[in-house]
């Protein structure tokens, strides 16, 4: 017997399905939203046929909604970007599905390649741009659903939270 605990589990817990918590139909935590993004990214049949590229503006398509969240698919041709912005009261998860994007934050600049994920707190300021020579595709999950996207000038200091 383990002296640190009087609880022991014999065997593989995965062999006892009634002890496992059922998967949630809709995510509600940051970890669950990150997991949802990874599962969508891994199943190209959910999104690849929907992607379009628009030379005049970023293309976007709402892929899914659920209680308190929404999932967006975006495409970026070379040179397209968001400018500095925040997502108001919404938290976000960005996942790069194809190509490469560059993120600009108070902490600097970071290249985001395929599979890269970034989590955003409400009102955190950042900018995303496709600095590469190839198109890119990204997945964005917002919770609660995106209701505002205030823009920031490059002269403004980056804010991580505003009243």
Annotated binding site: 85, 87, 126
* Residue pair 99/136 in contact by the 8 Å Cβ criterion: yes
Dist CA 92 CA 147 (whole Å): 12
Q: Which residues are annotated as a binding site for Fe cation?
A: 85, 87, 126
Cα–Cα distance list, 75 to 34, 69, 79, 128 (Å): 20, 20, 12, 12
Beta strands in the chain (DSSP E): 59-66, 69-76, 91-98, 101-105, 108-112, 117-120, 127-129, 136-143
Residue 86 three-state SS: coil
Dist CA 103 CA 114 (whole Å): 14
Token pair, residue 131, equals 């600095």
């Amino acid at each position: 017997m383990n002296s640190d605990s009087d609880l022991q589990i014999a065997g593989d817990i995965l062999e006892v399905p009634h002890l496992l918590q059922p998967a949630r139909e809709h995510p509600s935590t940051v970890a669950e939203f990150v997991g949802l993004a990874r599962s969508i990214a891994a199943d190209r049949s959910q999104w690849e046929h929907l992607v379009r590229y628009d030379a005049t503006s970023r293309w976007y398509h709402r892929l899914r909604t659920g209680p308190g969240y929404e999932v967006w698919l975006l495409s970026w041709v070379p040179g397209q970007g968001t400018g500095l912005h925040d997502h108001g009261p919404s938290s976000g998860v960005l996942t790069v599905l194809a190509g490469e994007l560059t993120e600009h934050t108070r902490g600097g600049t970071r290249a985001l390649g395929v599979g890269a994920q970034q989590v955003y707190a409400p009102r955190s300021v950042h900018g995303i741009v496709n600095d590469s020579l190839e198109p890119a595709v990204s997945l964005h999950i917002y919770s609660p659903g995106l209701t505002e996207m205030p823009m920031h000038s490059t002269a403004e200091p980056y804010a991580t939270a505003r009243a």
